[in-house]
């Protein structure tokens, strides 16, 4: 057991990096305020069955990636691998179906999946997501996509690409599924081992395969788009109208099939060219049957989630630097006699919302100045010596090196003045 190492697939986020996280989270929150999504905070673990039922028994997430445990009361619990299921549960638990619809919610927080870690993939990772319940309108899907698009753009990732598709509903998908199985039945020999497996369990996934042998059939394969029922067809058409209306560039990817079972009609994904193998920055779609599956009244829903680690990764490729925030003022002592006054000055500066720092290691004046310079403080106040006995202090501008003598009575005002703050 390595006590000095975080568990596999997890990591610490230290101050300079946490700064970048805050920026992303604040942007997400700001957008949610503008688009009128309210924050919801749900537990990090839920009853195991909530996920297996909603995400789908056959999915990779449920079949091999969940952190499941039994608590002391013999309950089967699972650390959430995604958040849509939890939000649906909360929507029902608190009777939000009685509130004016649609109910629009967002969340930010950690998720857990037992995967082999690799670039942009962790066992504890973080998602920002939104969910909207109670409307079937394709305009709502378009709004969600627009919100996501704005997040990327405003964070400085203009080259993300949007792909959309429709996976139909419980009326048109089963017949299509059979049609697809029929199409591949006589070609089983030429499919990769994985796809031969998929043919039985989840034939739609074959469309996701990257093997050339499998892809070679894709030119003639019947697509979802050609097999949607009239309702799903017009819904998909309306979504595309909505995206055009909002001037959102997109590409219809007839092979876009998402890994969670609950999606109906709209599915979409944002791809970044700068991400390596895990090129998906975020995605989502509509889930009109999910609330019912979880034991509620028939209620349509639509949502989106994005991985914060993925955004960070993409921004890093962008070459965005992370800089630790500098203090505004460093207070140095010329001799130990001034130390009590140093602490009072720090207290008073902080009361005026000025960030300031002092030495705690008994450093020499020279070393204190060195620290001040290294921390990139804008100003340094020096207390001690003859000036201190005369009720004065030295105020030094670290950029120019210029230094004034200021009376201790007016030192706060002088600092504020030099920082261009209101006195």
Partner RNA sequence: GUGGGUGUAGCUCAGUCAGGUUAGAGCGCCAGGUUGUGGCCCUGGAGGCCGUGGGUUCAAGUCCCAUCACUCACCCCA
Sites for RNA among residues 78-97 (CB under 7 A): 82
Tell me which stretch binds RNA (CB under 7 A): 22-30, 224-232, 386-394, 411-419. Answer: 386-394
Tell me which stretch binds RNA (CB under 7 A): 86-94, 132-140, 155-163, 365-373. Answer: 365-373
Distance CA 121, CA 119 (A): 6
Candidates 141, 175, 126, 127; CA nearest to 287 is 141
**Quick one: which of 20, 113, 265, 358 contacts RNA (CB under 7 A)?**
113
Per-residue contact flags (x/-) with RNA for residues 178 to 217, judged by CB under 7 A: ----------------x---x------x--xxxx------
How many Å is the maximal CA-CA distance in the chain?
A: 98
Q: Which is nearer to RNA, 289 or 309 (CB)?
A: 309
Tell me which stretch binds RNA (CB under 7 A): 68-76, 229-237, 269-277, 318-326. Answer: 269-277
Binding residues for RNA, rule CB under 7 A, total 71
Identify whether 102 is preceded by a cis peptide bond (ω within 30 of 0). Answer: yes
Under the binding rule (CB under 7 A), the answer on residue 384 touching RNA is yes
Q: Which is nearer to RNA, 15 or 401 (CB)?
A: 401
**Quick one: which of 108, 145, 290, 305 contacts RNA (CB under 7 A)?**
305
DSSP 278-315: --EEEEEEE-TTHHHHTTS----EEEEEEEHHHHHHHH
Q: Which is nearer to RNA, 32 or 313 (CB)?
A: 313
Tell me which stretch binds RNA (CB under 7 A): 3-11, 100-108, 230-238, 320-328. Answer: 3-11
Per-residue contact flags (x/-) with RNA for residues 136 to 175, judged by CB under 7 A: ----------------------------------------
Phi/psi-derived region of residue 111, left when phi > 0, alpha when psi is between -120 and 50, beta in every other case: beta
Distance CA 288, CA 293 (A): 10
**Chain centroid to CA 70: how far?**
29
**Quick one: which of 79, 85, 329, 394 contacts RNA (CB under 7 A)?**
394
Instruction: Please report where in the chains the tokens 């996920």 appear, as a residue.
Output: 51
Q: What is the footprint of RNA within residues 11-40 (CB under 7 A)?
A: 11
Is there a contact between 156 and 315 (Cβ–Cβ < 8 Å)?
yes
Q: For residue 218, which phi and psi values (nearest 5 degrees)?
A: -70, -20
Burial (CB count within 10 angstroms: exposed 0-12, middle 13-18, buried 19+), residue 19: middle
Is there a contact between 76 and 48 (Cβ–Cβ < 8 Å)?
yes
Q: What is the footprint of RNA within residues 328-357 (CB under 7 A)?
A: 334
Per-residue contact flags (x/-) with RNA for residues 50 to 79, judged by CB under 7 A: ---------xxx------------------
């Amino acid at each position: 057991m390595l006590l000095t190492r975080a568990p596999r697939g997890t990591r610490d986020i230290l101050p300079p990096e946490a700064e970048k996280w805050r920026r992303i989270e604040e942007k997400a929150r700001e957008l949610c305020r503008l688009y009128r999504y309210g924050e919801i905070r749900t537990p990090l673990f839920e009853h195991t069955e909530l996920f297996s039922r909603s995400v789908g028994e056959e999915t990779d997430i449920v079949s091999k990636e969940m952190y499941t445990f039994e608590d002391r009361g013999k309950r089967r619990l699972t650390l959430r691998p995604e958040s849509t299921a939890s939000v649906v549960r909360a929507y029902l638990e608190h009777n939000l179906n009685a509130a004016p619809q649609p109910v629009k919610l967002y969340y930010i927080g950690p998720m857990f999946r037992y995967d082999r870690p690799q670039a942009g993939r962790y066992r504890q990772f973080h998602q920002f997501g939104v969910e909207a319940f109670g409307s079937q309108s394709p305009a709502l899907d378009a709004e969600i996509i627009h919100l996501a698009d704005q997040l990327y753009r405003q964070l400085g990732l203009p080259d993300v690409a949007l792909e959309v598709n429709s996976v139909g509903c419980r009326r048109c998908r089963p017949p299509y599924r059979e049609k697809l199985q029929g199409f591949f039945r006589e070609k089983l020999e030429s499919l990769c081992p994985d796809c031969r497996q998929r043919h039985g369990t989840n034939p739609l996934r074959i469309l996701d395969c990257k093997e050339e042998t499998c892809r070679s059939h894709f030119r003639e394969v019947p697509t979802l788009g050609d097999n949607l029922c009239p309702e799903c067809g017009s819904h998909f058409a309306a979504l595309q109208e909505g995206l055009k209306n909002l001037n959102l560039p997109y590409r219809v990817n007839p092979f876009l099939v998402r890994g969670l079972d609950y999606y109906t009609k709209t599915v979409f994904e944002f791809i970044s060219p700068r991400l390596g193998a895990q090129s998906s920055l975020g995605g989502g779609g509509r889930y009109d049957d999910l609330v019912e599956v979880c034991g509620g009244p028939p209620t349509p829903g639509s949502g989106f989630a994005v991985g914060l680690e993925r955004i960070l990764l993409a921004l890093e490729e962008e070459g965005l630097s992370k800089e630790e925030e500098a203090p505004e003022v460093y207070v140095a002592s010329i001799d130990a006699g001034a130390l009590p006054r140093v602490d009072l000055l720090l207290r008073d500066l902080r009361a005026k919302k000025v960030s300031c720092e002092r030495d705690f290691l008994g450093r020499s004046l020279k070393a204190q100045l060195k620290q001040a310079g290294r921390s990139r403080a804008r100003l340094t106040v020096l207390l001690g010596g003859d000036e201190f006995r005369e009720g004065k202090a030295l105020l030094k501008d670290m950029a120019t090196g210029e230094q004034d003598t200021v009376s201790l009575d007016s030192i706060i005002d002088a600092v504020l003045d030099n920082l261009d703050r209101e006195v």
